[in-house]
Amino acid sequence: KAGVTQTPRYLIKTRGQQVTLSCSPISGHRSVSWYQQTPGQGLQFLFEYFSETQRNKGNFPGRFSGRQFSNSRSEMNVSTLELGDSALYLCASSLEGQVHFGPGTRLTVT
Amino acid sequence: GENVEQHPSTLSVQEGDSAVIKCTYSDSASNYFPWYKQELGKRPQLIIDIRSNVGEKKDQRIAVTLNKTAKHFSLHITETQPEDSAVYFCAASNHPKAAGNKLTFGGGTRVLVKP
């Protein structure tokens, strides 16, 4: 089976702009979650979607949002970008509890 | 919420020696404990996991042990090879309860295997 895919892989944005990241889960996986990875804070959970419903949310401001479509594909959006949002954003899909990560989107905010 | 602490933050071992990484968790409801290996510039890759009804699990050179009473779990890598050099993350979650698939990660251990 193909793994989790994410687009784009790299992104450079300016403070104040917004960004949308996309994720396609492993075929058959209905749970999609998003994580932020930074050198300072490590791997932090953003949110999880299951059957188009947000099932879990981490401790991030409301500028971070997401959604899931009927085909399980997911998008996350960050509005009013700040310099501190520069990070690797990892999408993951899971089945029976095992969580598998995509390659990530490297977001740089200047 | 759950808090996972991981030690050591860096570990240097000679090729062929064993490496041990330890994690402690705070939420007694956590019941699933995966380990991930992340090589430079790559995605975290699931290498082994253990559920709370099992005390130990082994897969070739890697093994994980879980002590539910003490709320800690460990990763053991035997006969280390240079390709084992990477950052290793432990994580904990309460699956498949209401918490869904939310993983709380430890801070990571950078392992360097010297040839």
Flag if B101 and A104 touch (Cβ within 8 Å): no
d(CA A29, CA B97): 17
In chain A, the residue whose alpha carbon lies closest to the alpha carbon of B99 is: A56
Q: What is the pLDDT of residue B1?
A: 83
Q: What is the pLDDT of residue A20?
A: 98
Q: What is the pLDDT of residue B101?
A: 77
Q: What is the pLDDT of residue B100?
A: 61
pLDDT band at A1 (very low <50, low <70, confident <90, very high): confident
Q: What is the pLDDT of residue B95?
A: 67
Q: Is the dihedral of CA A103, B1, B25, A86 positive or negative?
A: positive
Flag if B104 and A42 touch (Cβ within 8 Å): no
d(CA A39, CA A82): 17
CB atoms within 10 A of CB A63: 13
In chain B, the residue whose alpha carbon lies closest to the alpha carbon of A43 is: B105
In chain B, the residue whose alpha carbon lies closest to the alpha carbon of A34 is: B102
Identify residues of A whose CB sits under 8 angstroms from chain B CBs: 31, 33, 35, 42-45, 48, 50, 55-56, 58, 90, 92, 94, 97-104
Is the CB of residue A48 less than 8 Å from the CB of residue B100? yes
Q: What is the mean pLDDT of residues B37-51?
A: 95
Pairing mode, strands B45-51 and B4-7? unpaired
pLDDT band at B96 (very low <50, low <70, confident <90, very high): low
pLDDT at A98 over 90: no
d(CA A73, CA B31): 27
Q: How far B78 CA sits from the closest chain A CA (Å)?
A: 24
d(CA B89, CA B6): 8
Flag if B104 and A33 touch (Cβ within 8 Å): no
Phi, psi of B85 (to 5 degrees): -65, 125
